[in-house]
Amino acid sequence: MKRFLNKRTIIILSILVSGFAFFGFLKSNNRTFQLAKNIDLFNSIVRELDMFYVDTIDPNKTIRTGIDAMLMSLDPYTDYYPEEDQSELEQMIKGTYGGIGSIISYDSKRKRSVIAEPYEGMPAATTGLKVGDILMEIDGEDLYGKNNAQVSDLLRGQVNTSFKLKVERPGVKKPLEFDIVRKSIQLPTVPYYGALEDGIGYINLSSFSGNPSKEFKKVFTELKKEHNISSLVIDLRNNGGGLLDEAIEIVNFFVPRDKVIVTTKGKIKQASSTYKTRREPLDVEIPIAVLVNSGTASSSEILAGALQDLDRAVIVGTRTFGKGLVQVPRPLPYGGTLKVTTSKYYIPSGRCVQAIDYKHRNEDGSVGRIPDSLTTVYHTAIGREVRDGGGISPDIAVEPEKAPNILFYLLNDNLFFDYATQYCLKHPTIAPAKEFALTDADYNEFKEMVKAADFKYDQQSGKLLKTLKDAAEFEGYLEGASAEFEALEKKLTHNLDHDLTYFADDIKMILSVEIVKRYYYQRGSIIQQLKNDNELKEAVKVLTNPEKYKDILSVAGKEEGVSK
């Protein structure tokens, strides 16, 4: 009996221990259980839909929709790339793809894509394609009605494969045919560099994909050797970033060896690292101004932010985008890849520039920038105050100019594009980009074209006046102010001649850029834009004023509010 009781006691104890272990597992691994449970539920729902849904479902489309929605609930940078989209991911990382090397745009009137900007030295340019060419057929396949993405897929392909392209060219009666061989297209990382006034060098850095540090080093060395520059402007405006290592390498050109530039912190150990400068610098003394705007993001913010935190450059422009998240590619079954956000990065002062908190969303699922009141003060190497949570704030703030309403409508109606196309038919050559200027006769010709096109656009003043008039009527004030409203309506009557004259400088600037890039590609476009660039003017001012430059990069200068 005693032996039996012992055995029963052991069984009971075993059951109790198993029970405690089971509930302990649920308690300590509740998240693991919930993950397994929901994956099982997802699989079950797909099976049920496949079996019982009234229509036959497309498993690729249905499940891809679920994957995309799941990833979008996290942040916009975590993406899934199936096997057929690997070239898109490769282009993002390496800055290369197999194709013709041209930007195309969709003409909604013709319902066809057109060549918008061929890259210099790439197959589109070398085979003779021109801006404005209307894409008709690829290997006999009609492109009518196909959107830019569909046409782009047909233009891209394996390197060294060929195809026939038929285009219609404005001013040419018969369609033109081109035999084009796809090449590895390397997007230009330094589309323009040169020497400005007063010994100032200028480098436009457009991307951190591929190997931009190598190109940057080459052009910086050339500027010093051949132009004897004594200061430097680095233009990072609209540079959306790329590879972290490339940004650190460029910082290293101007910062001594063994300086901490970036620290990444993630959930797992592999996602947390410290990155230091590893080489001897090229120049630790040359004064530097960095141009930034709201399109400056990610690796660009690492470069600008690190130079600011180390008091190595003056930042000029507007506050940057604020992307402080790091993504890495993770292989998936069936040739897919998950580009997943694994960590946040922190620049030398210890701050993270991430401006949007995707973890804490509003009830409607939307997200917003972190309020300035919730940001934290950090300090640069010499003690200047800087803040986290909102991108990189410039040392010299330059308020962006507001574009007049008419520009958007002229752009939307392709009137800049169409005039530039006609201009090129009449002018086989033009003056060098630095010397080119649109004449009064050219602009009058453009104005006549706009009028002939029966151009219409909404005036903001007219819209606001109507809103005010409706509000006055609703509140009972319209009758007593009707004469004033009528007088104001007459003064604000739509007058195209007046607007084309009043906003001539703004319109000429965009028109000139559109024309110059037809002859001198992206390089010429940048040269033309720099002629009337307020941010660049401020950079030149500070670089030609050594006292102001030193004052900004001092604690006293920051405290006295040198930024304007």
Active-site residue (options: 146, 183, 259, 323):
323
- Identify the residue with better confidence: 510 or 15: 510
Q: What is the pLDDT of residue 494?
A: 62
298 catalytic per annotation: yes
Distance CA 303, CA 207 (A): 12
End-to-end CA distance of the chain: 94
Distance CA 256, CA 279 (A): 8
Distance CA 551, CA 311 (A): 11
Q: What is the pLDDT of residue 138?
A: 97
- In this model, does residue 201 exceed pLDDT 70? yes
Q: What is the pLDDT of residue 10?
A: 41
Residue tagged 């929709």 (tokens): 65
Residue tagged 């790339």 (tokens): 81
Three-class DSSP category at 417: helix
Distance CA 515, CA 524 (A): 9
Residues of the chain with CATH 2.30.42.10: 96-186
Looking from the CA of 491 toward its CB, the CA atoms found within 13 Å total 8
Distance CA 306, CA 300 (A): 10
The DSSP annotation for 99-168 comes to E--EEEEEETTTTEEEEEEEPTTSHHHHTT--TTPEEEEETTEE-TT--HHHHHHHH--STT-EEEEEEE
Three-class DSSP category at 499: helix
- In this model, does residue 111 exceed pLDDT 50? yes
Matching CATH number, 192-331+341-394, of 3.40.50.150, 3.90.226.10, 3.40.50.720, 3.40.30.10: 3.90.226.10
Mind listing the pLDDT tens digit for each residue in 282-337? 999 999 999 999 999 999 999 999 999 999 999 999 999 999 999 999 999 999 99
Q: What is the pLDDT of residue 78?
A: 95
The class that CATH gives domain 96-186 is mainly beta
Cβ contact 323:241 at 8 Å: yes
Cβ contact 197:167 at 8 Å: no
- In this model, does residue 41 exceed pLDDT 70? yes
- Identify the residue with better confidence: 115 or 372: 115
Pairing of strands 231-235, 200-204: parallel
Active-site residue (options: 213, 298, 349, 512):
298
For 348, residues 6+ apart whose C-beta sits below 8 A from its C-beta are 259, 260, 261, 305, 306, 309, 310, 380, 381
265 catalytic per annotation: no
* Of 374-378, 463-467, 519-523, minimum mean pLDDT range: 463-467
Strand positions, DSSP E, 392-510: 396-397
323 catalytic per annotation: yes
Cβ contact 103:117 at 8 Å: yes
- In this model, does residue 450 exceed pLDDT 90? yes
Picking from 319, 286, 295, the residue whose alpha carbon sits closest to that of residue 305 is: 319
Cβ contact 151:135 at 8 Å: yes
Three-class DSSP category at 479: helix
* Average pLDDT of the chain, as a whole number: 89
Q: What is the pLDDT of residue 61?
A: 93
Residue tagged 């996290």 (tokens): 74
Residues linked to residue 177 through DSSP beta bridges, in sequence order: 166
Residues of the chain with CATH 3.90.226.10: 192-331+341-394
Active-site residue (options: 235, 309, 395, 442):
309
Cβ contact 450:482 at 8 Å: no
Q: What is the mean pLDDT of residues 87-115?
A: 87
